[in-house]
Amino acid sequence: MVNENIRNAEEHLLHIYNRFPVVLDHGEGVYLYDTEGKQYLDFAAGIGVNGLGYHNTELNDALKAQLDKLCHISNLYYHENSGAAADALAAASGMDKVFFTNSGAEAIEGALKTARKYAWTKKSGRYEVIAMNHSFHGRTVGAVSVTGHREYREPFGPLFPGVHFADYNDLESVKALVSDQTCAIILEPLQGEGGIHPATQEFMEGIRKLCDEQDILMICDEVQCGMGRTGTMFAWQGYGVRPDIMTMAKAIGNGIPVGAFAMMEHVAEQSLKPGDHGTTYGGNPLACMAVRKVLEIFEKERIVEHVNKIAPYLTARLDELTDKKECILERRGRGLMQGLVLTKPFGEVNLRALEEGLLVISAEGNVLRLLPPLIIEEKHVDEMIKKLERALS
């Protein structure tokens, strides 16, 4: 049955993802179930999307009601969710102006266009961007241009010009690339795909200072590390270092495709104006209902507080496992965004984890990445540790 499903799925789908041999059917809380009824404990959350887990009835009811009322109208008109969703995101992020997109990569494109337009408005002639080695910002041409993986960029060149790559957490390497052409510095406060590397306090503060001194815009990519995952609503808030522009996606819609880029007033005043940017679907009534409701549930259920309560337990149990298992070299991460550096190939461990009914994902450097729904409890951590221990043996 499962093989039949996979064969059907692969017949006309472009073979571009190395999918795991599982056909998922439905979800409940922090568990997913395949078409044969097997249960999986989900420590991947759709790559950090399903912060509220699965089958959240409050969210689903609001989405169903919105579907029946109005799904799409284009950005030529207002609707009752756009302002409410933007207000909620602005309040949660401390940013002044929000633009809704359909994905993380599209949010990155918007952030880059904003930075370029800011330089254009100020007639500074600046266009260069400093990005980080091992960063990941998405798969569109602009996003790939600032992604610090040669293999993601090279086959698609020539890309967006003027991008230079510095070493993450090495302020001197960033300073060495700054010129009178630099318009923006883009970074993830915690690199996800690149192997779960948190920025140091000094690095975040140093970048902010550099940007202030040189009139460069600081862009934080919060697509993966945002929305409570690291113990603050957005990861930069944990450093007390506010960017000029930030990008969001993934968990802001809990599965409804929606992203956003947001900026401070001084950037908005001197950057994108009507006609400069747009999107047909971005911020439609359904997407904005998702954002509005997700943020409402985050507040009501005190999700960020919960992350701070459960994360030390997860960290302690992972550290225990790291001490116990020779095939784990190191644990890295913050909050509910954790990585284990393995000596065994991830692919092997992952197949064993699937057999055990555990979903995990990989990151660069043979890292086993854990991005559970933010609603996990201690009992789920215990269950994950048991399953993972077996998968690693």
Ligand X SMILES: Cc1ncc(COP(=O)(O)O)c(C=O)c1O
Which residues bind to ligand X, rule: CB under 6 A?
47, 103-105, 108, 136-138, 188, 192-193, 221, 223-224, 249
d(CA 253, CA 38): 27
Q: Among residues 120 and 281, whose Cβ is nearest to ligand X?
A: 281
Among candidate residues 267, 294, 296, the one with its CA nearest the CA of residue 99: 267
CB of residue 223 to ligand X, shortest distance in Å: 3
Q: Is 379 helix (H, G, I), strand (E, B) or coil?
A: helix
E strands, the chain, in order: 24-28, 31-34, 39-42, 97-101, 128-132, 163-166, 182-187, 190-191, 197-198, 217-221, 245-248, 259-263, 328-334, 337-342, 358-359, 361-363, 367-370
Residue type, 106: E
d(CA 259, CA 283): 8
Q: Among residues 152 and 313, whose Cβ is nearest to ligand X?
A: 152
Q: Among residues 221 and 244, whose Cβ is nearest to ligand X?
A: 221
Q: Among residues 222 and 383, whose Cβ is nearest to ligand X?
A: 222
CB of residue 181 to ligand X, shortest distance in Å: 24
CB of residue 286 to ligand X, shortest distance in Å: 17
Give me the residue label for tokens 């009752």.
80
CB of residue 248 to ligand X, shortest distance in Å: 9
User: Would you say 318 and 360 are in contact if contact means Cβ atoms under 8 Å apart?
Assistant: no
Q: Among residues 241 and 363, whose Cβ is nearest to ligand X?
A: 363
CB of residue 136 to ligand X, shortest distance in Å: 5
Q: Which residues contact 274 (CB under 8 A, 6 or more apart)?
A: none
Angle between helix 80-93 and helix 285-300 axes, rounded to 10 deg: 40
Q: Among residues 174 and 190, whose Cβ is nearest to ligand X?
A: 190
Q: Among residues 224 and 328, whose Cβ is nearest to ligand X?
A: 224
Q: Among residues 191 and 366, whose Cβ is nearest to ligand X?
A: 191
CB of residue 249 to ligand X, shortest distance in Å: 5
CB of residue 193 to ligand X, shortest distance in Å: 6
Q: Among residues 192 and 282, whose Cβ is nearest to ligand X?
A: 192
Q: Among residues 244 and 383, whose Cβ is nearest to ligand X?
A: 244
Alpha helices (H) in 41-122, listed in sequence order: 45-48, 57-69, 80-93, 104-121
CB of residue 221 to ligand X, shortest distance in Å: 5
CB of residue 206 to ligand X, shortest distance in Å: 21
Residue 321: burial class (beta carbons within 10 Å; 0-12, 13-18, 19+): middle
Which position's Cβ is nearest ligand X?
104
- Count of positions (residues) in the chain: 393
Q: Which residues contact 76 (CB under 8 A, 6 or more apart)?
A: none
Residue 198: φ, ψ to 5°: -75, 145
Give me the residue label for tokens 């509220």.
52
CB of residue 213 to ligand X, shortest distance in Å: 26
Around 40, how many Cα atoms within 13 Å sit in the side-chain half-sphere? 30
The angle at the Cα of 258, spanning 280 to 165, to the nearest 5 degrees, equals: 100
